[in-house]
Amino acid sequence: MSGTSRRRLLSAAVAAALLVPLAACGDDGGDSPSVDSTKPVELSIFWWGGDARAKLTEDALALYTKKHPNVTFKKTWQANQGYFEKLATLTAGNEAPDIFQIDDNYLTEYASRNVTLDLTSYQKSGKLDTTKFPESLWKYGVVDDKLAGVAFGENTQGLVYNRTKLEAANQPLPTQGMSWEDYIAWAEKATTATKVPGTQDPSADYKAFWVWLRQQNKDLYKGKELGFAAEDVVKWFDLWKGARDRKATPTADVIREGNATDVTKQLVVTGKALASWVWVNQLPELQKNTKDQLGVMPYPGDPKAQWARASMYFSVYRGSDKKDVAVDVINFLANDPEAGKVLGTDRGLPSNLDIRSAVQASVTDPAMKTSIDVENTIGKTFGPSPQVPLKGHSTLRSELTKAAESVQAGKATPQQAADTFIAAVKTAISK
């Protein structure tokens, strides 16, 4: 199935799910059993991930059952691809799991239709403890003043570079805080010295565009609207057109290859660029795919533009008749030291800082140690978190890629591509 067809299918599925009458997932949904009750309770839980994540999650849930023998779990998981189609279908049929994993691409979609339970009262009562979370991290789960999801792992944007090739060519490594212009100049010189393009062109990468916008005192979203205009997109595209003209980046066909989200296709590991724009916690997986030594740093510009991003969340279905127990399970997974040790860093750095410290002390993988150290170092300069992306965020991401690639291929000017991009995104977020 083509990417366009998948997006249409997902849009239709999400639309069907979110048009369910609110009465079908009312505030109470029946009597919620008490956490301390001995009455048997089976909670359904749904997440995406691979075999390793499944094993870790199942082991952590087994710990909860050990402490609460009356609570058992109906566990369902699958790969990322197709996950949100399945979640939308379950929600549309009033069969959503009691607990489900979600990310910032869809949290607003589900929260704005009251599919997710507002966890604020649990947080205020202490039944859901976020006091050990970085404030900007738990706040990145707030939608319309409601806590819609609990952050399960902290992450932030990272620029991964090939230390081995740079040092072999006696080239300086990129440094934190260098301006975007200085970074492009660095990449141009690195290209000349190594005969490898200095940097992947990130004009299609929403993460890089977002950080750059925040450094211009703007944002991706502002309230219910976009936080930027076409002129900002033009400046962004022009910045990278200049970089391509200076041979600081690969050619358009290689750039497009590197736009894939698969870590194995990032140009820094395929040897087609010296740097790629990723998430910090991807460093260990990237390192596995190359014999060269990699390094990671914040994106260029002021690092305060970056924030403690929730790599993903767990939410509770508003229509669940076991809300209290579901919230207690999430609280346990986030804050219990034993559960934290089991879950490790699979979903990102643990949100609870005490558990993070304990987990960090037990890490032996050098690449993982580096990513944790970088995350903690950047964390000292994190700015406030932005609002969670609006519904239609997935369209913004795909349309930015389409627009940037049209400029890279010479099929559109930066202005033409920016105008088309803005029109498409405004339509998506207004639906």
Highest mean pLDDT among 4-13, 23-32, 194-203, 282-291: 194-203
Listed residue (372, 339, 342, 343) closest to 357, CA to CA: 372
CA dist., res. 363 & res. 366, Å (int): 8
Interval 21-48 mean pLDDT: 70
Coil, helix or strand for 84? helix
Is 8 within 8 Å of 15 (Cβ atoms)?
no
> pLDDT value at position 81?
83
pLDDT of residue 379: 87
- CATH fold for domain 157-306+392-430: D-Maltodextrin-Binding Protein; domain 2 (3.40.190)
Q: How many beta carbons lie within 10 A of that of residue 19, not counting itself?
A: 9
Q: 196, 165 in Cβ contact below 8 A?
A: yes
pLDDT at 429 over 60: yes
What local confidence, expressed as pLDDT, does residue 322 receive?
96
Query: The tokens of 430 are what?
Result: 């207004």
Mapped onto helix, strand or coil, the DSSP state of residue 280 is helix
pLDDT over 60 (residue 9): no
CATH architecture of 3-152+313-376: 3-Layer(aba) Sandwich (3.40)
State the Cα–Cα distance between residues 145 and 1, nearest whole angstrom.
38
Q: What is the pLDDT of residue 28?
A: 41
**What is the C-alpha separation between 129 and 9, in angstroms, rounded?**
37
Under a CB-based contact definition with an 8 Å cutoff, are residues 339 and 63 in contact?
A: yes
pLDDT in tens, 184-242: 999 999 999 999 999 999 999 999 999 999 999 999 999 999 999 999 999 999 999 99
Whole-number pLDDT of residue 100: 98
Nearest to 215 by CA among 160, 175, 291, 157: 157
* pLDDT tens for each residue of 241-297: 999 999 999 999 999 999 988 888 999 999 999 999 999 988 988 999 999 999 999
Looking at residue 20, its pLDDT comes to 44
Helix then strand count (H, E) for the chain reads 19, 14
**pLDDT-based confidence at residue 397 (cuts at 50, 70, 90):** very high
Residue 23: is its pLDDT beyond 70? no
Are both 3-152+313-376 and 157-306+392-430 of the same fold? yes
pLDDT of residue 21: 40
Confidence tier at 33 by pLDDT (50, 70, 90): confident
Place of tokens 């296709």: 265
402 pLDDT more than 50:
yes
Mean pLDDT, the chain, whole residue set = 91
Listed by start position, the domains of the chain span 3-152+313-376, 157-306+392-430
Residue 122, pLDDT above cutoff 80 = yes
- Please tell me the predicted confidence (pLDDT) of residue 12: 43
Average pLDDT over residues 63-86: 94
Q: How large is the average pLDDT for residues 125-152?
A: 96
- Residue/partner pairs of 223-232 with CB below 8 Å, 24 or more apart: 223/387, 224/390, 224/429, 225/429, 226/422, 226/425, 226/426, 226/429, 229/422, 230/415, 230/418, 230/419, 230/421, 230/422, 231/418
Read out DSSP for 236-269? HHHHHHHHHHTT-S--HHHHHHHTSS-GGG-HHH
Q: Cβ contacts of residue 192 below 8 Å, gap of 6+?
A: none
Question: 275 by DSSP, 3-state: which?
Answer: strand
Share of the chain above pLDDT 90, in %: 78
What does the pLDDT read at residue 30? 43
Query: Average pLDDT of 152-163?
Result: 95
DSSP label at residue 199: S
pLDDT at res. 31: 57
